[in-house]
Amino acid sequence: MAERDRDVSSFLPLTPAVFHILLAIADEDRHGYGIAQEVTTRTEGRVRLGPGTLYGTLVRMEESGLVSETDRERGADPRRRYYTLTPLGRSVAKAEAERLSQLVDLARDKALLARARR
């Protein structure tokens, strides 16, 4: 597949919404509304994805091979589609996280950010 061959770094930097979506399904497959909810909860409501935006983005991500639909349990409602991370998607998310982490470290070095707040 052409997507497989694509260099992970060609996706970076990810747009924030795409990164959020990848994070939302990193630990667990979710359907569209589940993704939107997860993103809203994790960002304390700062990022809210409407259905059009979400599915529009998901379609692109699917075409680029970042996510794929699972045939796993469709749950109570057969209309729901569940999405999962592809290996490529996982690598891209990881790469983006590393990139951001490096940036944050840089900011800490420059004392823009308090050091350990964990």
Partner 1 sequence: VTRERPVPVRLARRLAHGVVRGYPSALNGTTPDTLTFLDDALDDAWRTSGATGLLRSLTDLVRDVIATRWRGPGYPLTSRPSPAANRNPRGSRFMDLIRRDLRQALRRLASTPSLSIAAILTLALTIGATTAVFTVVDQSMLRPLPYPDAERMMVLMERNGRGQVMSVAWPNYQDWMAQNSSFAELGLYRNMAVNLTGIDRAERLSAALVSASVFTTTGIAAARGRTFAAADDVPTTGRIAIISERLWRTRFGAREDLLNSDITLNGLQYTVVGIMPPGMRYPSRQTDVWLPLGQFVSTFPTDRGNHPGLYAVGRLKETVSLDRARQDMDAIAKRLSEQYPQSNTNVTVTITPYLESVFSFIRPAYQLLLGAVALLLCIGCANLASLLLAQGESRYREIAVRAALGAGRAQIVRQLVLESMLLAFAGGAIGIVGAAWAVRVFVASSPSVVPRIDLVGLDGRVLVVAIGMTLLSALLFGLAPAFRTSAVHLQSALATGTRSVGASLTRVRGVLVIAEVALAVLLLVGAGLFTRSFARLSAVELGFDPGQALTMRLLIPDAKYPTRDAWVNFHRDLIARLAATPGVAAAGISSAVPLAGGASESFVMREGDPLPSPQHQTAMCMFQTGSAGFYQALGVTMLRGRWFDERDTATSERIVVVDDTLAARLFGSADPIGQRIAFEGSGHSSDAFQPTYRTVIGVVRHVTHYGLTGEPPYLQVFTPYTQMPQYMENRRPGMAIAVRATGDPDALVSTIRSVVASLDPDIPVYSLQTMTSYVQQASEQPRLSMMLLGAFAVLALVLAVIGVSGVLAYAVARRTREIGVRMALGARPREIASLVGRQATLLVGIGLIIGIAAAFACSKLVEDQLFGVVPNDPWTFAGVAGVLIVAAAGAAYLPARRAATVDPLVALRAE
Tell me which stretch binds partner 1 (CB under 8 A): 8-16, 101-109, 110-118: 8-16
Asked whether position 99 contacts partner 1 by CB under 8 A, the answer is no
Beta carbons of 31 and 83 less than 8 angstroms apart:
yes
**Binding test (CB under 8 A) with partner 1, winner from 3, 47, 51, 102:** 51
Whether cis (ω within 30° of 0) applies to the bond prior to 51 is: no
Q: How far is the CB of 100 from partner 1 (least distance, A)?
A: 13
Q: Is 67 helix (H, G, I), strand (E, B) or coil?
A: strand
Q: For residue 100, which of 108, 46, 39 has the smallest C-alpha distance?
A: 108
Tell me which stretch binds partner 1 (CB under 8 A): 45-53, 98-106, 109-117: 45-53
Chain positions contacting partner 1, by CB under 8 A: 10-15, 17-18, 31-33, 36-37, 48, 50-61, 64, 66, 76-77, 79-81
